[in-house]
Structure 1
Amino acid sequence: MEQYIKDLVPYHFSFINNKKDETPREIFEQNHKGLMKESYEWIKETSNPCSVVAALIGSVCLATSSTAPGSTNKGKPKLEGQPAFDAFAIASLIGLSFSITTLTMFLAIPTSRKQVEDFRKSLSLMHFLA
C-alpha cells in the first residue's frame, strides 16, 4: 500500500513532514500499530495448530517410509520390485519430504520478524481483494 501511494504522490512531497513534524512513514507506523499486533496474534494462533498437524503427518510418513509393508526375507521386502510397492515407497518419501518442509515453514512463521515493510505486499493484496 505504501509503495502504491508513493507512486501516486509526486516525489518531492515524500520528504515533507506534517505540522507535528512527522514523516509519512512515522504516520503509517502509528496508524497501523494495532493492525500489526492483531496480525501477529492471528499468525501465532493459526500456525500453532497447523504445525501440530504437520508434525503428526510427518511422524506417520516417517513410520511408513521406514517400514516395508508385508514381511521381509533376509532384510529385503518380499514385495520389492512390484510396481505397487515402488509407488508406495516413492509416495511415502514424497509425503515425508512435504510434511517436513511444511513443518519447517510453520515453525519459522512465529519466529520471523514482523516489520512494517513485511506488510507492504500483504496489505496491498488485501486492499485489492476486498
Structure 2
Amino acid sequence: MLLAFHEIENPTLVKINYKARRNKNGNTAQSIFTEEHKELVKEGEEWMKDTSGSCMLVAALIAAVAFAAAFTVPGGNISDSHSSKNGTPVFLGKTSFTVFAVANAFAFFSSIT
C-alpha cells in the first residue's frame, strides 16, 4: 500500500511542493491515503496470517514425508545377514537412487528453513 503512495509521490507526477500541502481539514495527502486505506491494511494482514499458516502446514507435511522417505528407501535394504552389504539400500550406486537422495534432502532442508 505504501508503495502505491510512493508512486504518487514521484516528482514527475506530482510537484514536490504539493507533498506538504494540507487540505481545508489540515490533512496531508499521505494522512488521507493512510486513513482511506485502513481496511485494506487489515485485509492484507489477515491474508498474510492465513497464507503463513497454510505455508507452515505444507512445510510440516513435506518435512514429515521427506523424513520418513529417508528411512524407507525405494527398493528397501539388503537383508542378507551373511553379506557385508547387509542394511545398505538395494539401489545404492544407481543414478535413480542418487536423484532420489538428493531430491529428498532438498525437500527436507527447504521445508525446515
Asked if these proteins are the same fold (TM beyond 0.5), I'd say: yes
Range with bigger deviation, 62-71 or 17-26: 62-71
Residue 97 of structure 1: how far off its partner (Å): 2.5
Q: Residue by residue, what CA displacement relative to the aligned partner does 1:66-103 show, whole Å, maximum 9, x if unpaired?
A: 443411534533432121211111111122133224xx
* TM alignment of 1:1-130, pairs within 5 A: 1-7=4-10, 8-69=13-74, 70-72=76-78, 73-101=85-113
The alignment's C-alpha RMSD in Å is 1.9
Residue 46 of structure 1: how far off its partner (Å): 2.9
In 2, Cα distance between the equivalents of 1:84 and 1:10? 63
Range with bigger deviation, 57-66 or 9-18: 57-66
User: Which amino acid in structure 2 is aligned with residue 3 of structure 1?
Assistant: H
Unpaired segments of 5 or more residues in structure 1? Answer: 102-130
**Aligned length, in residue pairs:** 101
Does 1 or 2 have the higher relative contact order (CA < 8 Å, sep 6+)? Answer: 1
Residue 55 of structure 1: how far off its partner (Å): 0.8
The ranges of structure 1 where at least 4 consecutive aligned residues each deviate by more than 4 angstroms after the TM superposition are none
In 1, Cα distance between the equivalents of 2:29 and 2:86? 73
Taking structure 2 as the reference length, what is the TM-score of the superposition? 0.75
Taking structure 1 as the reference length, what is the TM-score of the superposition? 0.66
Sequence identity, in percent? 39
